[in-house]
Structures are given as C-alpha cells and as structure tokens.
Amino acid sequence: MKCFFTKLYILAFMGLVVFFGVLIWNLTFAHLIHEYHARKGDVSIQHEGEAGKKEKGKQTFDTMILESEDRVKHYLGYRVLEEQRIEGHFHHIGFDIGPDNRSYCRSCHGDMPHDKVKDVRAFLNMHAFFVACQTCHVKLEEKDKTNVYKWYDRKTGDIVDSPVNGAAPGTYQAKIIPFVRDENGKLVRIDSEEKIQFALDYKNNEKVLSEGQKSKAKKLIHKIISKTPVTCEACHTKNKPLLPLAELGYPQTRIDSITSTEVVGMIRNYTEFHMPKMLSPGEKPALPQLQPEPLLKQQSELQPKQQPELPPKQH
Amino acid sequence: MRLKSRFGPFGYIGIFVLLTIYFMPARVFGADAGNCLVCHKYPGLSRVDENGEMRLLFVNEEIHNKGVHGKVKCEGCHTDITKIPHEPAKPVDCLVLCHIIEPTSEQKFSHKSVATSLEDSVHSKKGKDGKEKPFSEDMPTCKDCHDDPLFRPLAFVKKVRPGVAEDALGRCRVCHTQEEFITRFYNHITTRLHKSRSPLNIAESCARCHDDPELVARHNLSTSAGGSYGQTFHGKAANLLDESVPDCLDCHVPKGKSVHQMYENKDPRATTHKDNRGKICNSVDCHPGASADFANYKVHAEFDKKSNPVIYWFTTFFIVLTGGTLLPLMAILFLDLLRRLFPNASFSRRKEK
C-alpha cells in the first residue's frame, strides 16, 4: 500500500515537473520563436479600402458572434463584464449564446437565413434564434398534427426543460422543435437523426454530385418544407395560437405579452403596409402602399410630457 | 368655484392627474419611451445588410439602463426614427444636440466639443494645412474607441471593494429623495474622479489600431504601441489589473486636458514633445523628483533586432539564461523521478549470471 502511494506521489510530482517545464518553455524559448515568426511576416502598405473588401466575404454569424475570438472584459471594479466584441457595435451584448449544433438547415442557410423581405428579415432572424426552422416552415396536415413542441439545447441538441422562466426574452440556449408521430405511432422530433445524416452526407458529397443528383437530394431534403411558412398571426393570437405557449413553459405574463394587441397590431401594421407580398411571393401587392401608423408619434401624444431632468440641489 | 361650475368634478380629476404626472418618479419615463425594446430586447434581432455586413440590432436593456446613456431616449440618438415600423436606421451622429439639458448652461447637451478637440489632435482626419491626411479613413471615429460607456463608481468610504458606497448614498438621501437620481448622480460623479476605464481596457482599446501591423506600416509609426507597452513593467502591472499604473492616456494626454487632445510628437503642445517629455514621469502622482532624462528611455522599445539591438540581445540573453538553466533542471528532475518510479528499468539487457 505504501509503495502504491509512493508511486502515486512520484507520478503527481512528475506531472508537476512537466507542467512547469512547459510553462518555462512557453515563457522563454517559445516566446523567442513566436516573436521570430511574428516579425518574419512581411508587412506591406495596403489601402484600407482594399483590405476591407477582402475581409467582407469572410464575415459570418459564427465567426462574428457565436464563435468570435475577439472578446473583451470590461473591468468595472464591482463587476467584470465579459462579452464578444463586434467591431462598430455600440451597445453591449452582455452574454453568450452558443451555436445551434443540431440544426441541419443551418449548414447551408446560416444563422441569419431570412433576407428576402427587407422589412421583416430582422424579425424573422430574431425568431430563428429560439424557434427551429421546421416549426414555421413545415406545415403539417391536420391528421399529422400532434401539437407537441419541445425545447432542445442549441449545443447538445438534447431535449431540455423549458428555459423561458427567469430568462430574458429570447436569450434562451434552446430552440422550439415540433414533434411528429413515426410509422409506429411513437412521438419523435421532426429533425430525426436520419434527416440530419442525409443532409450531412449531401453537404459532404456536394462537389462530386452531378446536377441531377444535387437536385434530387435537395428535393428530398426540402420534401417536408411547405410552400408558404406559418404566418406570424398563427402564434401571435389569443385565439388558439399554433404553439402551446403554456406547455412550452411561458408564464402567463409572457403569453399575454406575445399575444397582446401591441404585438399583434404591429404585425398587422407590417403585414398590411410593409409586406403585402411576404406570404405570397411573386404576386403584386393588392393594397396600395399606405403610410404606416406613426406609433411613436401616437405614443408621444398619448403619454404625458416628459418631466425634464432637474439639476441637483445645491448644498 | 369657477372650475367646478364649468367642468364639474372632471376639473379636480384633471388637476389630480396633472399633479400625479408631475410628481411621478423619473424612472417611470425610461429611456425606452418609444417602446423600442419590444423588438430590440431580442438578441437574435439581426440581419445581413446590402453590403454583406452583419448588423446586430440587439440592445441589452439591463446593461444599457445602468450605463451612461441609460437616461437617453432611443430617438435621442437615433433621430431618424420617428415611427414604428421604421426603415433601416441611419448611423448615429454622436454630435447631435440631444436629449438631455446640461444643468449649468441649461442648453441641450452635445458632444460637439469632443469633435473640436479631436479635429485639432493627432487623430484628426485633416492635417494642419487643412488637407486630408493620407489614409484618413484609418483615423478613429467615436465608435472605434467607445462602446456604450459604463459607470465605474468609486467608493471613498468603502475600501474593501469598489462600487457604490452605501454609506455615501446615505448622506445623499438626507436631502435627495429620488433613489434613481441619487444612484445615477453618484455614479456619474465618482466615475469621473478616477480612470473611467481600467488601464488594461485603455491599452486594449488603443492597441486595436496601434498594434495592427498594416496600420502601423501605413502611417509610418515607429512601434506597435500596445505590444511594446505590454512588455514594460507598467504594461505587465496593467495586465494584472493594477489601477495605479499609467496607461496610454496618462502619458499622451496633457494634464488637465480631455483625452481627445492628443498631439503628434512634433507639436509643442504634445506631452511627448522633446521639451515636455521630462515632465511626464516626474509628476507628483508618479515619480516625483525624477530627472528629465528619466522619461527619455525607450518606453515603446520593441523586441526587435534591427530597431533595438541592445534591448534585443540583452533580453535574448536573459531568456536563454533562464530557459537554459531551468529547463535542464526540469529534465533532470523528471529523469530522477522516472528512475524512482521504475528503479530496475534498463534499456540494455542484463547479463545472466
């Protein structure tokens, strides 16, 4: 027994020696080598404009937000605020959200897939942050509807408990995914392992596929996607919303907010005045482009005049 | 009597409503009077614009409200947004006459004086002759150095840790009643009484440009300032979050001036001008009594054979000495331990007796 502990002690000590050896190496010779290579790079004078053009294509949500290495710590004395730093972004982000490792749509469409309709692209991308693509883009037939939706973890892909309660709206590390019944009648998530593997195989073999094979593969991947997505009003309504918000863990106050006249009214504003074509692409707008209601103006009229900030009292 | 006779009881109700509004706490009218956070509180609110640039439209309400601009209404800066839904917002002009009444002049507040200082500084886009400098697009604009500023309150009566001192707030509460005003005023004043950012944060901010090798080359700068600062005692202490060491601004901004008033070395107003350099280090706060030559050492000496051969070989010698001594020692220790672990191990076969 004594011998065993002695061996263990020696092993631990050896580990410590290796640790210090690596540390000393990094501080001494590795530092010299790093400096040598850093200085070896030829620094050429390059106009900013040209450099900017080169960089633009490389910017993705992954590199800029989710996996950004450019992090900053604000040392406020009483608190250290650590966050990703986005160049030119003024407001603080304040927290990290990991990438959605489960979604197979993301590998082609990215994290900000909505850009067709200028007026709502940001809203749709915002929803894509906590709602899986299939929730809106797969319209199940009445007989296939299960009305079961669950949250899955963005990093692990596992089904998790509702992250809603206590978290700030939309800051969840999880997304809503619909459930369907398989051939045995068992409830399964719509993004099955089989579909993920198929999409992955397509992505890996895309370069060697013929055009015909590509088309066929794309058709199969998008087979479940409906022509028109679920409308905003399908969820933002008090009358049987598509998503079972209470079952998804939304407290009543949040449900009231999501289905409030304020949100619903704004959606109507957008739909009627800004994007009459959104749900029927290719068609000409039926309504003339009317001026939207100036909500801010309305509010300022409704609200009492703001009290000006008074100068501090003199002592 | 007249009020009652003309409007009945509604006259009194009206007065009551007006009085209620007048005495309502200021926080009721938050910065988000336009209810912008209905949408902008969501972190996923983002898009790719026509130039392929990603635009994150999220505002962290909790952090923003506690920051310097927490009382400023959204439309105070985003002046082009007058209705909801709105078109893509134009870039914010930080020099806009804004939102808050400056209490001493009772005029609308503006950052215009900052722009005036900046235009006269080394970071101006124009040279002294009024012509645009080469690579003027490299010169910093507000957002290159500033994100939404956060308060760094200072505690005089709380020495253990920084932050808002409850004892000091207790004194304020004797006369002032509005809690939000007290905290904000305390934060505002005490933040101004010391470094508004830690030396490390300042160095990081400057280094974003001054350590960019392409930018350094374009502007014929002699050194990557952030990197060389990091090699010094001051830089190493700053890296360990020491607040008392000088950062870039302490040496490069004339005492009593705005941080935006930095001048190039040749400018007689610059602290780094050969006639003024001696005064940087021997201030009462730093090294009182130090001679003028004290500041003439190579502050931003880089570990470079060509530009600083003495420092390079001196440093290399000590690095090799340290590594050359300690690494063999570690190797010997490791081998010794290995022998203790396997006392009978051998590479060669033992001779059979």
Residue B278 reports pLDDT greater than 60:
yes
Residue A292 half-sphere exposure toward CB, CA atoms < 13 A: 23
- Give yes or no for a contact between B251 and B271, defined as CB atoms under 8 angstroms apart: yes
User: Over 60: is that where the pLDDT of B190 sits?
Assistant: yes
Residue A39 touches chain B, beta carbons under 8 Å: yes
What pLDDT shows up at residue B29? 42
**B327 and A171: CB-CB below 8 Å?**
no
A284, pLDDT greater than 80: no
What is the DSSP secondary-structure string of B282-342? TSTTS-TT--GGGGGS-TT--S-TTT-HHHHHHHHHHHHHHHHHHHHHHHHHHHHHHHHHS
More confident residue, B310 or B30: B310
Q: If contacts are CB pairs under 8 Å, which of residues 103-142 in chain A contact chain B?
A: 112, 114-115, 118-119, 121-123, 125-130
What gap in Å lies between CA A164 and CA B42, rounded to an integer?
A: 13
What is the Rg, in whole angstroms, of the alpha carbon atoms belonging to chain A? Answer: 27
Q: Which run of H or of E encompasses B173?
A: helix B166-175
Q: Is A293 exposed, middle or buried (0-12, 13-18, 19+ CB in 10 A)?
A: middle
Q: What's the pLDDT at A116?
A: 80
- Chain B: give the shortest CA distance to residue A131, in Å: 11
**Global pTM value:** 0.72
Taking an 8 Å cut-off on Cβ atoms, the answer to whether B54 and A61 are in contact is yes
CA dihedral sign, ordered B87, B146, B43, A70: positive
Helical spans, DSSP H, in chain A: 2-27, 29-40, 48-56, 61, 106-109, 121-128, 133-137, 193-205, 211-221, 232-235, 252-258, 261-269, 295-302
Angle at A195 between CA A193 and CA A201, to 5 degrees: 100
Mean pLDDT of A61-77: 67
Q: Which of B148, B139, B9 is nearest to B77 (CA)?
A: B148
Report the alpha-carbon distance of residue A270 to residue A257 in Å, rounded: 18
- Binning pLDDT at 50, 70 and 90, where does residue B99 land? low
Q: What are phi and psi of A106, to 5 degrees?
A: -60, -30
Matching residue, tokens 């969501």 = B42
Chain A residues 159-198 with CB within 8 Å of chain B: 168-171
H-helix or E-strand containing B109?
A: strand B107-109
Residue (of B226, B184, B237) closest to B66 by Cα position: B184
Residue A293 tokens, joined: 């209601």
Q: Classify residue B9 as exposed, middle or buried by CB count within 10 Å of its CB (0-12, 13-18, 19+).
A: exposed
Peptide bond into A229 cis (omega under 30): no
Q: What does the pLDDT read at residue B326?
A: 95
Per-residue pLDDT, averaged over A30-49, amounts to 62
pLDDT at A141: 81
Tell me whether residues A126 and B138 touch, CB distance under 8 A. no
Contact (CB, 8 A) for B226 and B210: yes
Which amino acid, B186?
Y
CA distances from A271 to A121, A290, A300, B84, B238 (A): 13, 12, 24, 13, 54
Does the beta-carbon distance from A95 to B60 stay under 8 Å?
A: yes
pLDDT of A310 > 60? The answer is no
Read off the pLDDT band of A62 (50, 70, 90).
low
Percent of chain A's residues with pLDDT above 70 = 75
Residues B152/B195, Cβ–Cβ less than 8 Å = yes
Tens-digit pLDDT profile for residues B249-269: 999 999 889 999 999 999 999
- Decide: residue A149, CB within 10 A, 0-12 exposed, 13-18 middle, 19+ buried: buried
- Which one of A80, A89, A116 would you mutate to disrupt binding with B, by most B Cβ within 10 Å of its Cβ? A89
pLDDT at A280: 42
What pLDDT, on the 0 to 100 scale, is given for residue A297?
A: 39
Under an 8 A CB cutoff, do B323 and A28 touch? yes
Six-digit token string for B294: 């004290």
Instruction: Tell me how many residue pairs between chain A and chain B have CB atoms under 8 A apart.
Output: 246
Least confident of A137-146, A263-272, A287-296: A287-296
* Chain B contact for A289 (CB, 8 A cutoff): no
- Average pLDDT (B175-202) is 90
Phi, psi angle pair for A274, to nearest 5°? -100, -30
Q: In whole angstroms, how far apart are CA B86 and each of A82, A271, B83, B353?
A: 31, 13, 6, 96
Is residue A304 pLDDT above 80, yes or no?
no
pLDDT at position A88, please?
A: 81
Dig out the tokens for A142 from the structure.
């009445």
Structure tokens at B100: 């808050």
Predicted confidence at residue B85, as pLDDT, reads 75
* CB within 8 Å of chain B, chain A residues 62-81: 64-65, 72-79, 81
Q: Are strands B107-109 and B98-102 parallel, antiparallel or unpaired?
A: antiparallel
pLDDT of residue B7: 46
Residue B76: pLDDT band with limits 50, 70, 90: confident
Does pLDDT of B233 surpass 60?
A: yes
Question: Is the confidence at residue A231, as pLDDT, over 60?
Answer: yes
Query: Looking at residue A33, what is its pLDDT?
Result: 85
3-state secondary structure A161-200: CCCCCCCCCCCCCEEEEEEEECCCCCEEECCCHHHHHHHH
Q: What are phi and psi of B39, to 5 degrees?
A: -105, -40
Residue A153 belongs to what H/E stretch? Answer: strand A149-153
* Span of A178-182, A269-273, B88-92, B197-201 with lowest mean pLDDT: A269-273
Pick from B197, B326, B338: which is nearest to A24 by CB?
Answer: B326
Residue B247: both structure tokens together: 């950062």
Region for residue B52 given its phi and psi (left: phi exceeds 0; alpha: psi -120 to 50; beta: otherwise): left
Give pLDDT, residue B23. Answer: 45
Which residue, among B304, B313, B122, B310, has the nearest Cα to B213 in the 3D structure? B304
Instruction: Specify the pLDDT at position B159.
Output: 56
Q: What is the spatial distance between Cα B176 and Cα A312, in angstroms, rounded to a whole number?
A: 9
B168 versus B275: which is more confidently predicted?
B275
Contact B150 A74 (CB under 8 A): yes
AA letter at B156: F
Residue bearing the bigger pLDDT, B78 or A69: B78
Query: For residue B106, how many other CB atoms are within 10 A of its CB?
Result: 9
- pLDDT tens readout for residues A115-162: 887 778 888 888 998 999 999 999 888 778 888 999 999 889 999 999
B210 chain-A contacts, CB cut-off 8 A: none
Does residue B343 surpass a pLDDT of 80? yes
Contact A262 B337 (CB under 8 A): no
pLDDT band at B2 (very low <50, low <70, confident <90, very high): very low
Which of A233-242, B127-136, B281-290, B321-330 shows the highest mean pLDDT?
B321-330
Residue A227 confidence (pLDDT) above 90: no
Looking at A111-115, B16-20, B98-102, which range is the least confident one? B16-20
| Whether the Cβ atoms of residue B43 and residue A170 lie closer than 8 Å to each other | yes
Q: Which of B84, B194, B196, B326 to mutate to test the interface with A (most CBs of A within 10 A)?
A: B84
pLDDT grade, residue B12 (50/70/90)? Answer: low
Q: When comparing pLDDT for A111 and A103, which is higher? A: A103
For residue A241 the two structure tokens come to: 């919303």
Partnered with residue B132 across adjacent β-strands are B126
Percentage with pLDDT > 90 across chain A = 25
**pLDDT at residue B115, rounded to an integer:** 92
Distance CA A227, CA A219 (A): 13
Nearest to A90 among B41, B88, B147 (CB): B147
Q: What ipTM does the predicted assembly reach?
A: 0.77
Give the pLDDT of residue A309: 38
Instruction: Specify burial of residue B333 (Cβ count, 10 A radius: 0-12, 13-18, 19+).
Output: middle
DSSP B215-250: HHHHTT-SS-HHHHHHHSHHHHHHHTT-SSS--HHH
Residue pair B31/B65 in contact (Cβ under 8 Å)? The answer is yes
